[in-house]
């Protein structure tokens, strides 16, 4: 039932795209039409206008669309020969280009869709029955888009919209959109002074500001602590290394478009690392290994550098400097499934700490049509894939398969999380790899005294810390749990007379390792409270004459709750416990 519903929404959105094109042609008859598909969350249509289109014109276009919807025009299909189609679209160069391509592919007929009598588009469908079914829609934004996504082609104007079966759904959607805008990490990240990406440094090269650095350090502490408990050993490795390392690993052949050009040092070529794997292979090889040493879990929180297309860079979530919570597990073949499950358990633990309640898993496999993009043979791939599936089934975890999403050296399991607004993000991965151990000649001595090859598991549960913190900003709407909050407490004396008492409280909290600030400025109390709220500080400690006389404090929590008349030691003790537990809660 649900499934038909979602495909109905797709039809609805795609039909709305036709209505949009028709409305545009009614108002601006010399406009050239590009394409207008339904997309994940709505639809768009690309146009070449002869004049500039702004938000103001969108209103006018919306009104025209409403007229077409009110006419309740039927959508109907007609198959014609390519030459007939070329005549019908004689004024539409982009459509003509598409028709010629269809004809060159050997199509004897092309499919057209009419809306009533006056509008026709080149389209295979499907659509809803009539324009009247589009009960609610909104045009959302305008963007530039190259014809066919190629920068050598003309830049067209893309109008985005969204259509629904009823007004309530549209209203809910727009409310969610508004909330997402408020939580946009690029906006909040600036307001909360978490990161900056100055053009002087370079696109996608992020600087962690002091507040961001605190958040990152806290996450790193969590990772270090928990991984140490789970038997990982942490290492450090350089940012560059001989090119040959990545030739051996296969990155140079199959991952080069994401790597920066080599640099020459002492007549030899070096690369900036796009991944840590080769270094950890060298850690493994730093001494002979026996079966007793395995599993060996080598971890490093390390920054790598990857070339992302300029158009894909976005705030913290897509950058060119990526800090991974990386590790490589070397194990005996019979340990693979258990090691995989242990990583799985760790990921589940992390998601719980960050209060991410909804997530699912994607099993990313090779593209069967394009095996050249990957190392190794069918047998190795099947073996690795079977290890993952066995582990998943042992745990009773459901997953879906995605062909063409694997790493070039092996299949992987990706964690897709759902944030507080129901949006999906791909974060961590676990990969089983038989390839790199072979290419780097890794071995260990087995129980019989023979040399054997270990299996390698690559894993980065959070993925990239930059991306992770970007997602967290939006997930929490900037209101970080206490353990992550850059400032945990702000002390506000009501008047100058309590300044000394406030300083004493601040010093005591700082002494306990709590991140505290004193705001004893001349601004009114309500102004200072408001500032604390904008900064989303978990606790404001307010002290006036009454508090000073009774040696108490009044705590104002971020959720608006006031807790008066408590002793400082009571607060310190509660707070320290919440921090230590990395609790997502405030005070009860
Ligand atoms: Zn269509
Ligand atoms: Zn790796």
Give the pLDDT of residue 3: 37
**What CATH number did the domain enclosing 551 receive?**
3.40.50.800
Q: What distance in angstroms lies between residue 294's CA and the mean position of ligand 1's atoms?
A: 58
Ligand having the closest approach to the CA of 440 = 2
User: How many Å is the maximal CA-CA distance in the chain?
Assistant: 93
Is residue 494 a part of any domain in this protein? yes
Sheet-wide strand order for 424-433: 233-234, 296-305, 321-331, 455-460, 424-433, 412-418, 358-365, 399-403
Q: Is the Cβ–Cβ distance between 566 and 553 less than 8 Å?
A: yes
Q: Is 326 a catalytic residue?
A: yes
Is residue 22 a part of any domain in this protein? yes
Q: At which of 445, 476, 507 does a domain end?
A: 476
Q: What is the 3-state secondary structure (H, E, C) of 28-51?
A: CCCCEECCCCEECCEEEEEEECCC
Question: pLDDT tens, position by position, for the chain (588 residues)?
Answer: 233 445 899 999 999 999 999 999 999 999 999 999 999 889 999 999 999 998 889 999 999 999 999 999 999 999 999 999 999 999 999 999 999 999 999 999 999 999 999 899 999 889 999 999 999 999 999 999 999 988 899 999 999 999 999 999 999 999 988 888 889 999 999 999 999 999 999 999 999 999 999 999 999 999 999 999 999 999 999 999 999 999 999 889 888 899 999 999 999 999 999 999 999 999 999 999 999 999 999 999 999 999 998 888 989 999 999 999 999 999 998 898 899 889 999 999 999 999 998 898 998 888 878 888 887 778 878 888 888 888 888 888 888 888 888 888 788 899 999 877 777 888 889 998 888 999 999 999 999 999 999 999 999 999 999 999 999 999 999 999 999 999 999 999 999 999 999 999 999 999 999 999 999 999 999 999 999 999 999 999 999 999 999 999 999 999 989 999 999 999 999 999 999 999 999 998
Q: Which has the closest alpha carbon to 397: 388, 405, 385, 406? A: 388
Ligand having the closest approach to the CA of 10 = 1
Burial 29-60 (b: 16+ CB within 10 A, else e): eebbbbbbebeeebbbbbbbeeeebeeebbee
Ligand having the closest approach to the CA of 33 = 1
Distances (CA, A) of 582 to 58, 158, 488, 532, 586: 47, 45, 13, 22, 11
Environment of ion ligand 2 (residues, CB < 5 A): 277, 458
Give the pLDDT of residue 544: 95
Q: At which of 452, 476, 500 does a domain end?
A: 476
Is residue 252 a part of any domain in this protein? no
Residues 14, 32, 277, 488: which is the catalytic one? 277
Torsions phi, psi for 367 (to 5 deg): -80, 110
Give the pLDDT of residue 6: 54
Q: What's the rounded Cα separation, in Å, for the pair 189 and 345? A: 31
Same domain, 527 and 398: no
Same domain, 418 and 494: no
Q: What's the rounded Cα separation, in Å, for the pair 496 and 498? A: 5
Q: Is 306 a catalytic residue?
A: yes
Q: What distance in angstroms lies between residue 32's CA and the mean position of ligand 1's atoms?
A: 16
Q: What distance in angstroms lies between residue 251's CA and the mean position of ligand 2's atoms?
A: 11
Q: What's the rounded Cα separation, in Å, for the pair 406 and 400? A: 13
Instruction: With H, G, I as helix, E, B as strand and everything else as coil, classify residue 557.
Output: strand
Is residue 404 a part of any domain in this protein? yes
Q: Which has the closest alpha carbon to 410: 438, 369, 445, 375? A: 375
The sign of the CA dihedral 107, 109, 114, 120 is positive
CA dihedral 495, 499, 504, 509 (to 10 degrees): 60
Q: Is the Cβ–Cβ distance between 483 and 512 less than 8 Å?
A: no
Domain of 35, in residue numbers: 2-183
Q: What distance in angstroms lies between residue 474's CA and the mean position of ligand 1's atoms?
A: 35
Q: What distance in angstroms lies between residue 393's CA and the mean position of ligand 2's atoms?
A: 24
Ligand having the closest approach to the CA of 273 = 2
Same domain, 342 and 424: yes
Residues 183, 185, 328, 536: which is the catalytic one? 328
Q: Is 357 a catalytic residue?
A: no
Q: What distance in angstroms lies between residue 37's CA and the mean position of ligand 1's atoms?
A: 7
**What CATH number did the domain enclosing 156 receive?**
3.30.980.10
Same domain, 451 and 558: no
Ligand having the closest approach to the CA of 111 = 1
Q: Is the Cβ–Cβ distance between 564 and 461 less than 8 Å?
A: no
Is residue 283 a part of any domain in this protein? yes
Question: What are the DSSP E strand ranges found in 295-377?
Answer: 296-305, 321-331, 358-365
Q: Is 458 a catalytic residue?
A: yes
Q: What distance in angstroms lies between residue 373's CA and the mean position of ligand 2's atoms?
A: 17
Question: Which class for 81: exposed (0-12), middle (13-18), buried (19 or more C-beta within 10 A)?
Answer: middle
For residue 120, what is the DSSP state? Answer: E
Same domain, 121 and 204: no
Same domain, 543 and 455: no
* Beta pairing partners, 163: 137
Is residue 132 a part of any domain in this protein? yes
Give the pLDDT of residue 580: 96
Ligand having the closest approach to the CA of 430 = 2
* H or E, element range at 172: helix 167-183
Q: What distance in angstroms lies between residue 60's CA and the mean position of ligand 1's atoms?
A: 23
Tell me how many domains the chain contains.
3
Same domain, 328 and 466: yes
Place of tokens 């869709």: 113
What's the pTM?
Answer: 0.82
Q: Is the Cβ–Cβ distance between 68 and 132 less than 8 Å?
A: no
Same domain, 33 and 157: yes
Ligand having the closest approach to the CA of 113 = 1
Q: At which of 443, 476, 509 does a domain end?
A: 476
Q: What distance in angstroms lies between residue 414's CA and the mean position of ligand 2's atoms?
A: 14
Q: What distance in angstroms lies between residue 462's CA and the mean position of ligand 2's atoms?
A: 14
Same domain, 173 and 286: no
Q: What distance in angstroms lies between residue 98's CA and the mean position of ligand 1's atoms?
A: 14
Residues 324, 431, 498, 535: which is the catalytic one? 324
Same domain, 12 and 112: yes
Residues 11, 14, 320, 458: which is the catalytic one? 458
Is residue 250 a part of any domain in this protein? no
Residues 32, 158, 412, 475: which is the catalytic one? 412
Same domain, 408 and 323: yes
Strand pairing of 240-242 and 263-265? unpaired
Q: What's the rounded Cα separation, in Å, for the pair 199 and 404? A: 34
Q: What distance in angstroms lies between residue 275's CA and the mean position of ligand 2's atoms?
A: 6
Q: What distance in angstroms lies between residue 51's CA and the mean position of ligand 1's atoms?
A: 25
Is residue 509 a part of any domain in this protein? yes
Same domain, 225 and 374: yes
Q: Which two tokens stand for residue 255?
A: 């991952």
**What CATH number did the domain enclosing 395 receive?**
3.30.930.10
For residue 411, what is the DSSP state? Answer: -
Residues 46, 326, 419, 433: which is the catalytic one? 326
Count the neighbouring beta carbons within 10 Å of the beta carbon of residue 258: 16
Q: Is the Cβ–Cβ distance between 399 and 391 less than 8 Å?
A: no
Q: What distance in angstroms lies between residue 367's CA and the mean position of ligand 1's atoms?
A: 29
Q: What distance in angstroms lies between residue 19's CA and the mean position of ligand 1's atoms?
A: 10
Ligand having the closest approach to the CA of 300 = 2
């Amino acid at each position: 039932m649900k499934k038909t519903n979602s495909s109905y929404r797709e039809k609805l959105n795609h039909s709305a795209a036709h209505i949009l094109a028709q409305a545009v042609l009614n108002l601006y008859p010399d406009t050239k039409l590009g394409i207008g598909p339904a997309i994940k969350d709505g639809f768009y249509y690309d146009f070449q206008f002869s004049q500039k289109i702004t938000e103001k014109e969108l209103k006018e276009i919306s009104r025209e669309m409403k007229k077409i919807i009110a006419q309740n025009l039927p959508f109907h299909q007609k198959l014609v020969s390519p030459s007939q189609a070329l005549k019908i679209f004689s004024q539409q160069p982009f459509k003509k280009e598409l028709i010629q391509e269809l004809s060159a592919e050997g199509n004897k007929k092309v499919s057209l869709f009419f809306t009533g009598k006056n509008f026709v588009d080149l389209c295979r469908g499907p659509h809803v029955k009539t324009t009247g079914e589009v009960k609610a829609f909104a045009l959302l934004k305008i963007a530039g888009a190259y014809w066919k996504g190629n920068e050598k082609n003309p830049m067209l104007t893309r109008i985005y919209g969204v259509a629904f079966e009823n007004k309530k759904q549209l209203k809910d959607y727009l409310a969610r959109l508004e909330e997402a805008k408020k939580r946009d990490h690029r906006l909040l990240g600036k307001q909360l002074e978490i990161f900056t990406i100055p053009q002087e440094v370079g696109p996608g090269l992020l600087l962690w500001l002091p507040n961001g650095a605190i958040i990152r350090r806290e996450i790193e502490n969590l990772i270090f602590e928990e991984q140490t408990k789970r038997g990982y050993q942490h290492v450090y490795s350089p940012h560059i290394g001989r090119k040959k390392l990545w030739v051996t690993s296969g990155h140079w052949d199959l991952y080069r478009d994401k790597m920066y050009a080599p640099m020459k040092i002492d007549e030899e070529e070096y690369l900036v690392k796009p991944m840590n794997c080769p270094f950890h292979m060298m850690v493994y090889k730093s001494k002979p290994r026996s079966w007793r040493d395995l599993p060996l879990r080598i971890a490093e929180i390390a920054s790598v550098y990857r070339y992302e297309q300029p158009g894909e860079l976005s705030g913290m979530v897509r950058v060119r400097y990526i800090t991974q919570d990386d590790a490589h597990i070397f194990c005996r073949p019979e340990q693979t499934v258990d090691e995989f499950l242990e990583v799985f358990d760790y990921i589940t633990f992390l998601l719980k700490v960050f209060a991410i309640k909804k997530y699912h898993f994607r099993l990313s496999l090779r593209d069967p049509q394009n095996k050249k993009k990957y190392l190794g043979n069918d047998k190795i791939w099947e073996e690795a894939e079977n290890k993952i599936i066995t582990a998943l089934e042992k745990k009773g975890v459901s997953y879906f398969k995605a062909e063409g999403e694997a790493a070039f050296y092996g299949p992987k399991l990706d964690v897709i999380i759902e944030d507080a607004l129901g949006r999906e993000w791909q974060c961590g991965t676990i990969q089983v790899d038989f390839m790199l151990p072979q290419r780097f000649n890794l071995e260990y001595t087995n129980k019989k005294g023979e040399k054997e090859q270990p299996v390698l598991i690559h894993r980065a549960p959070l993925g990239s810390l930059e991306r992770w913190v970007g997602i967290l900003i939006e997930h929490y709407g900037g209101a970080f749990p206490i353990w992550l909050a850059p400032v945990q407490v702000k002390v506000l004396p009501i008047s100058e007379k309590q300044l000394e008492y406030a300083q004493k409280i601040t010093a005591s909290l700082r002494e306990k390792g709590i991140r505290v600030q004193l705001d004893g400025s001349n601004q009114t109390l309500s102004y200072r409270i408001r500032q604390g709220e904008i900064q989303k500080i978990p606790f404001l400690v307010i002290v006036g004459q009454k508090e000073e006389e009774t040696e108490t404090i009044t705590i104002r929590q971020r959720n608006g709750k006031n807790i008066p008349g408590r002793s400082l030691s009571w607060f310190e003790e509660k707070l320290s416990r919440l921090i230590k537990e990395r609790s997502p809660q405030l005070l009860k």
